[in-house]
Every structure is written in C-alpha cells, then in structure tokens.
Amino acid sequence: MSHRFSRTALALIPLAFAVASCRHGGARQTVDIGTYLGGEASLVAATPVFGAHGMVASNSELASAAGTEILKQGGNAVDAAVATGFALAVTYPFAGNIGGGGFMNIHMADGRAAAIDYREIAPLAATRDMYVDPATGKLTNKSLIGHLASGVPGAVAGMADALAKYGTLPLATVMAPAIRLAKDGFIVDSSLFRSLRGNRAVAQFAGKELFFPTGEAVAPGTRLVQADLAHTLEIIAAKGPAGFYTGEVAEALVAEEKRGGGIITMEDLKRYKPEWRTPIRSTYRGYTLFTMPPASSGGVTMTETMNILENFAPLPRFGSAGYTHLLTEAFRRAFIDRNEKLADPAFVKVPIEQLTSKSYAKELASGIDRAHATKTPAFKVAAEPEHTTHYSVADAKGNVVSTTTTLNGGYGSGVWVPKGGFFMNNEMDDFAAQPGSPNMFGLVQGEANAIVPGKRMLSAMAPTIVLDKDGSVLLVVGAAGGPRIITTTTEVILNVIEHHMSLADAMRAPRLHHQSLPDTLRYEPGAFSDAVADSLRAMGHALQRTGGLANANGIMRVNGGWIGVREPRSAGGAVGY
Ligand code: GLY
C-alpha cells in the first residue's frame, strides 16, 4: 500500500505558523493562554480578524473571500456558505469538493435552526463484504484508494438545497466566484504546493497533467486554471443539482467509475437526496448548543461529553491534571457509546434522546473516579485520522452557518473525473468494512455501521453553533480531523466558555484527544507541564505526545461585530468586512 494511503502516515495539512495580530477590535474575553502555558504553546500563533458586518473563516483565504464577496452583495450567511463551499472545491482540492459530502448547520437570526445532511451514501451495488478479500478473509485497501472507494456524492445536492430553503440569491450568483477562480485560475501558494507534493499518489489517476504538470507538484506562484472544473460548475450554476446528477457531468463520472472498476451508476446519482434534520439542541451552563445529529456522530458525542462535564463545573483550570483527567474520562465514555451505538438513523435505531439526556450523563459522571483513569473495555471501537475541512460564516443580521465537508482522505480516493475536473471521495472507508474484527489498521468497527446500499456511513463531523446566555450567537465552530473533530470542537468551546479565553487563544491552545480506544490520551506539546504529565501517569493514563490534532475554523461574536480565526496550525484565512 502506498505511503499516502497509510492512515497513520497521513500528516495534517502543512503547518503555517502565523504571527499573532489583532487587526481590529478586541476579543470579548481577556484571559491570555500564555498565562496558563509556557514554552511550546507560543509556537502556535493565531490571527484574529475583525468584521463589523460579516465574516467567513475557512482553510482557504480565497474561498473565504468568495463568501465575503457574496455577503457584500447583500447575500445572507447561507448564500455566503454555499459560495464558500463551491470555492473550496476549486482552491482547496485537498478536502473542498463537489465529489464528496458534508453537513451544514444553520441558525437564522429569527430563531430558526436547521441542519442539512448531505453525506454520501453507499451505491446500490455495494455489499457488506466488498472490501474483504475472499481468498484471505482480510481487508483490502479498496475502501481507501481507487474507484470502489467512493460513496455517491452529496455536496452539490446539499448546498443547492440549503440555498433554495434559506438563501436569498440565485445559485448562479453564489457560484460566480468559484467559477471565476476555476476559469481564470488562482495563484498556487506554498500550502497547496506542499499538500500536493505530500500526496503524490494522486498522480496515479487522471488529473496528473493538471496538478503535476512536469511530474512535480504545481509550483508556488503558478496560476492554476481548472477548465474542466469551471465547465462543470457552469453547468451546475445553470441547471442546479440536475447539472451534476444527470447529463454530461454524471456521464463523465459514471464513465470514469466504469473504466476503473467502480460501481456508481447513473441510477445512484439520480436517486441521491440530502436529508433535512433537526439539530441536536443542548445546554451547557446556560449556553445553548446546536450540533449535528446522525448520520454524524459529532453532535451526540459532543453533547454527551459536555453533559458529563457539566456535573463537575466549574471545571478545574486549563492545563491542570484535574481538568485533563475529567476531559479524558468524559470523552472516553462518550466515544464508547459513539462507537457502538451510532449510525445512519434510516437503517439503525439510534438512542439519541437517551445519549444526550442530562440524567444519563449524570449516571456516567458518577462512575468517574477523580483520582484514577478508567480502562476502556477491550472490545470497543476505535477510529483514525481523516482529512476534511470546516468553515464558519456569519452575516450582519446575525444569521450563521457552520459547515463541515469532506472527501474523507486528502484528495479522496485519488480518482479525478476527466472532463468533470474534480476528485471523488473515499468515504466508503467510514463504514465498518468488516464489523467485529480489526481492519488492516487495527480498527474494530461496529455492526451498526456495516455497509448497506443506500446507507450513510457514520461521520464525526461536528459543525456547531453556540448561543450566549441571552440567546444571541456566540460561536460558530467546527473542525476537520476524523474523531478529533469532536474533541477539538468541544475543547475550543470549553476554552471560551469555561476558561474565558479569546477565540484566538481558544483556537491555539494545545489540544487533547481520547477516543476510548486506543486507550491513550494524545496531547499536543504544551497541553500540560511535565509535573502534570507525571500526575496523569500516576492516575493510570497512557500519554502520547503528538503533532497538530485537528483543523478548526471559528467565528465569535464580539462587541460591534465578529472575530474570525482560521486554524492556527494550518493554512487558510478569515475574511470579514
Ligand atoms: N470522513 C470523516 C468523517 O466524516 O468523520
């Protein structure tokens, strides 16, 4: 198997450490993370950007600018979110997409809350054991790389539906910046260059002439024009989702599937439908959270974690052994449930009410020993790194949108659709490809998440909106990073509302991750002192120091406007006005 598709070898997007500067205005809170942490924490700086009217924060400054352009034209946050989503498909092909799927969480200023699930689904010809080698009984890597790895894409249908229901502008208007970026091109920066260079296996499929014109990744400073993608986007802009799910784009997609032994058909594309869902509404110490329900595990797992923690509030100070221990034990319990019980609700009965109830959390909290780590039972499930992208949008009226979208792995399955000009996802790998036994990465997946035609694979995406105690929007946040999406999003929120950090500090604060199995507490450098590490080991925690855990982009309401902060550990940009 190639280096690119060894999940443990996948690096987070190249780090781009920015110099901290607050361009305008001030953050709502004043506690500096530097008062808690020394040394390595200062390696990660954050760039807060102020906008009096609106804000977009994403992993591509050009895509954020596309969203802001639509806000300036009078579009609302949903218009801008759809503009940003299509622009990310052009400028951030690592995870931005039209060949993948995602989840959008919407909160309108008039109080309406909605969530749209445009997760990919298993093709009609998918089978439970399609990734198991019949000769050896072992898992192949076909859920990760190549034509069989893709679910039926949902991104175009989902974004168009969100726009139709909550936007104010025509699809062609909000897609205009993306079409321009594809047609006229944009200047490749070092981040895209390094991302392509680090994912050279992309070149084994079509698209290599575009991204590796001389055999090397397209160099920084080069203008990257994507004529096929521009053509596809123009068709979608003119015809709506029918321009993607039927007609020449669909035919190009299906022809490439057939050529490479994939199973997605015209019928699969024609049948794809996004699902409107009711966001999970929960509270934490007077704040209200709107999070994503299944087919993502993000909202249930975050809610369960925060409900457990609420029993110990106010929490011990950031960086202390007490805080780290409680956070770990809460994550452990929530992930045990996540891994066993969550899946596509159209196929599996998911106990959402119970898992998100305060009484259940109280019961779980009562099992936490304040001085000792609990061991995770051996048969529970684990999950590993994936690459995704989150963006947050706010407008002048107070409408906000929190969206996470993905191809799953960086550049998805590596399959690029000729004439279509886009990468296909490898989302089928988010299913339990061999329920009940470890896969080739040592992961054990639950029966609830087994492959069934038409089923959505379980996600960890957690686009979240937090309301202040007075009911106004406080935070719009989410992350990329597979299961670390859940822990990072929770931690950014806790950093703001428990530890009184500014958004910039909340985003750059070193992160922790525990997902029940492996039974290891992963932590970024500077998360706690050596003395605290010793205490945690004495309590029974296995510690593993690690690099950047996830990739978040957030917005916070402040006096007079919005502060946007893009992931300090990675590339991107917040653009306000
Ligand atoms: N593919 C990453 C996720 O959905 O969690």
Three-state SS for 270-322 is HHCCCEEECCEEEEECCEEEEECCCCECHHHHHHHHHHHHHCCCCCCCCCCHH
- CB proximity list for 30: less than 8 A, separation 6 or greater: 500, 502
What pairs with residue 542 in β-bridges?
none
| d(C-alpha 473, C-alpha 234), whole Å | 35
Which of 143, 300, 404, 406 to mutate to test ligand 1, by most ligand atoms within 8 A of the CB atom? 406
Give kind and range of the element (H or E) at residue 576. strand 573-576
Pick from 68, 138, 78: nearest CA to 403 = 78
Does 126 lie in the same domain as 21? Answer: yes
Question: Which stretches in the chain have pLDDT values below 50?
Answer: 1-42, 380-385, 438-444
Give kind and range of the element (H or E) at residue 512. strand 512-513
DSSP for residue 16: -
Query: What pLDDT sits at residue 45?
Result: 78
Residue 442 CA to ligand 1 centre (angstroms): 18
Q: Which domain holds residue 467?
A: 3-185+228-279+382-576
Query: For the segment 549-565, what is each residue's pLDDT rounded down to a tens digit?
Result: 899 999 999 999 999 99
Does 73 lie in the same domain as 198? Answer: no
Instruction: Give, using CA atoms, the residue closest to atom 3 of ligand 1.
Output: 459
CB 117 within 8 A of CB 237: no
Which of 408, 445, 449 to mutate to test ligand 1, by most ligand atoms within 8 A of the CB atom? 408
Does 69 lie in the same domain as 159? Answer: yes
Is residue 56 in a domain?
A: yes
Does 434 lie in the same domain as 538? Answer: yes
Query: For the segment 160-178, what is each residue's pLDDT rounded down to a tens digit?
Result: 999 999 999 999 999 999 9
Does 409 lie in the same domain as 528? Answer: yes
Ligand 1 atom closest to Cα of 482? 5
Ligand 1 atom closest to Cα of 298? 5
Please state, for a pLDDT cut of 90, what percent of the chain lies above it.
Answer: 80
Is residue 441 in a domain?
A: yes
Q: Find the Cα–Cα–Cα–Cα dihedral 84, 85, 89, 91, rounded to 10°.
A: 20
Does 58 lie in the same domain as 19? Answer: yes
Does 425 lie in the same domain as 492? Answer: yes
Give kind and range of the element (H or E) at residue 574. strand 573-576
Pick from 456, 162, 165, 183: nearest CA to 294 = 456
Does 215 lie in the same domain as 177? Answer: no
Which of 386, 404, 445 to mutate to test ligand 1, by most ligand atoms within 8 A of the CB atom? 386
Which of 388, 425, 443, 457 to mutate to test ligand 1, by most ligand atoms within 8 A of the CB atom? 388
Query: What pLDDT sits at residue 18?
Result: 25
CB 399 within 8 A of CB 390: no
| d(C-alpha 158, C-alpha 569), whole Å | 29
Ligand 1, CB cutoff 6 Å, lining residues: 386, 388, 406, 408, 430, 459-461, 482
Residue 119 CA to ligand 1 centre (angstroms): 9
- CB proximity list for 475: less than 8 A, separation 6 or greater: 464, 465, 466, 492, 493, 496, 503, 554, 555, 556, 557
Q: Reduce the DSSP state of residue 358 to 3 states and report it.
A: helix
Distances (CA, A) of 48 to 57, 64, 222, 554: 10, 14, 28, 10
Does 481 lie in the same domain as 524? Answer: yes
Pick from 38, 120, 93: nearest CA to 459 = 120
Pairing of strands 287-291, 388-394: unpaired
Instruction: Give, using CA atoms, the residue closest to atom 4 of ligand 1.
Output: 459
Ligand 1 atom closest to Cα of 408? 1
| d(C-alpha 150, C-alpha 457), whole Å | 11
What pairs with residue 291 in β-bridges?
280
Residue 325 CA to ligand 1 centre (angstroms): 26
Q: Reduce the DSSP state of residue 450 to 3 states and report it.
A: strand
Is residue 337 in a domain?
A: no
Ligand 1 atom closest to Cα of 458? 4
Pick from 432, 448, 340: nearest CA to 143 = 432
* CATH number (domain holding residue 453): 3.60.20.40
Distances (CA, A) of 259 to 201, 208, 299, 453: 19, 17, 38, 21
Is residue 141 in a domain?
A: yes
Is residue 304 in a domain?
A: no
| C-alpha triplet 194, 195, 197: angle, nearest 5° | 60
Does 401 lie in the same domain as 544? Answer: yes
Is residue 375 in a domain?
A: no
CB 567 within 8 A of CB 507: yes
Query: What pLDDT sits at residue 11?
Result: 28
| d(C-alpha 287, C-alpha 275), whole Å | 27
Ligand 1 atom closest to Cα of 457? 4
Instruction: Give, using CA atoms, the residue closest to atom 1 of ligand 1.
Output: 408
Does 98 lie in the same domain as 203? Answer: no
Based on the structure, what is the number of domains in the chain?
Answer: 2
CB 431 within 8 A of CB 101: no
The separation between CA 41 and the C-alpha centre of its own chain, rounded to angstroms, equals 24
CB 207 within 8 A of CB 113: no
Residue 244 CA to ligand 1 centre (angstroms): 23
| d(C-alpha 82, C-alpha 417), whole Å | 22
Residue 409 CA to ligand 1 centre (angstroms): 9
| 445 residue type, one letter | Q
Does 51 lie in the same domain as 200? Answer: no
Q: What is the radius of gyration, based on Cα positions, of the chain?
A: 22
Residue 301 CA to ligand 1 centre (angstroms): 14
Catalytic residue numbers, as ranges:
388
Residue 102 CA to ligand 1 centre (angstroms): 9
Is residue 320 in a domain?
A: no
| C-alpha triplet 493, 499, 500: angle, nearest 5° | 85
Is residue 301 in a domain?
A: no
Query: What pLDDT sits at residue 44?
Result: 63
